[in-house]
Structures are given as C-alpha cells and as structure tokens.
Amino acid sequence: MKWLVLATATAAATAAAATDPRRLQWEDNCVYNCPNEAWPWIDDGACDLECNIEACNWDGRDCFHDASECFEQSNGADYRGKVDHTKSGRTCQAWAEQMPWHHTMTVFDYPDAGLGGHNYCRNPTGRESGPWCYTTDYPDVEWEECDVGEPKK
Ligand SMILES: [Ca+2]
C-alpha cells in the first residue's frame, strides 16, 4: 500500500512540473511589466526566458524571434536561427534552463554565443560538428547536433 501512495505522489509531482508554475509566474510578471516602456528587459540585448512569450513581443529582438537562418562559419558558431530540435527530432532544452540537464553553457560564460532564454540550436564552444542543443529527452540523450543547413557567404 505504501508503494501505491508513493507512486501517486510522484505522478502528481510530474504533472505539476509539466504545467511549469514558474513559467506562469513569469508570464504574470511580464504581462504586468510589458506596458511600461521604461521596463529595461525587452530589447536589452539579452534573451530573457520570462519575456520570450507573445505577450511580451518575444522579448523584442533579444530572443531571435525574427532571426535569419543564414550563417557563414563552417562550424555554425554564428548561427542565430530558430531550429529548436536535434537532427533526430528531439526537442531542445532552453539554454537558460538547468532542467532537465544541468549544464554550464550560460550567457555568463559564453556572452557572445547567442544563448539565453530560448531553445534554438547554437554552437557556443565552436564544435566542428556544428550547432547542437541539450535535449529534453531525459535521462537518455543529454545533447545532440542539429541540422541547421549549410553555411552561405
Ligand atoms: Ca531581453
């Protein structure tokens, strides 16, 4: 009987995580703050996860919402497009999230790599194999390369 209780509690915790109450709280904060033109987060050059929603105009230009898929470097280190899944179709984890995978690819450590509050493929360390992302396929696949096309000059 104890096992049943434990299993039920775990399922409830999983369901709560799926609705992501943190995201709901962020949306409230952002919607509240968006009309304030003095609010410093939108178009400040940093992609803020809590502002990367339609109600906040996708954080202005910060989260690459209207970004081009074009890039020039052979390793795609300058890719700033919007492919958000790996070559095998796995959904990417947002760079600003530390769930499900804990990682060190942060804006703080890689300020010029186009990371932040979005889950688009990037190549912050200049891997030869090109842009990649942490996946949401936990605990099976931590990261995987993305197919972002070929570089063009
Ligand atoms: Ca911002």
| Complete DSSP assignment for 48-77 | -GGG-SGGGGGGTTTT-TT--S---STT-T
Ligand 1 midpoint to CA 8 (Å): 39
Ligand 1 midpoint to CA 118 (Å): 11
Ligand 1 midpoint to CA 114 (Å): 12
- Examine the domain organization and report whether 153 and 93 are in the same domain: yes
Domain boundary among 38, 59, 80: 59
How far apart, in whole angstroms, are the C-alpha atoms of residue 115 and residue 77? 11
Q: Is 132 helix (H, G, I), strand (E, B) or coil?
A: strand
Domain count, the chain: 2
- Examine the domain organization and report whether 74 and 24 are in the same domain: no
Ligand 1 midpoint to CA 6 (Å): 41
Domain holding 35, by residue range, is 2-59
How far apart, in whole angstroms, are the C-alpha atoms of residue 120 and residue 95? 8
pLDDT tens per residue across span 14-29: 444 445 555 555 555 6
Ligand 1 midpoint to CA 96 (Å): 12
Q: In this predicted structure, what is the pLDDT of residue 2?
A: 41
Look at residue 91 and tell me whether its pLDDT is greater than 60.
yes
Measured CA distances, 11 to 15, 21, 137, 138 (Å): 6, 16, 18, 16
CATH number at residue 109: 2.40.20.10
Q: In this predicted structure, what is the pLDDT of residue 22?
A: 54
Ligand 1 midpoint to CA 125 (Å): 23
- Examine the domain organization and report whether 148 and 95 are in the same domain: yes
- Examine the domain organization and report whether 38 and 90 are in the same domain: no
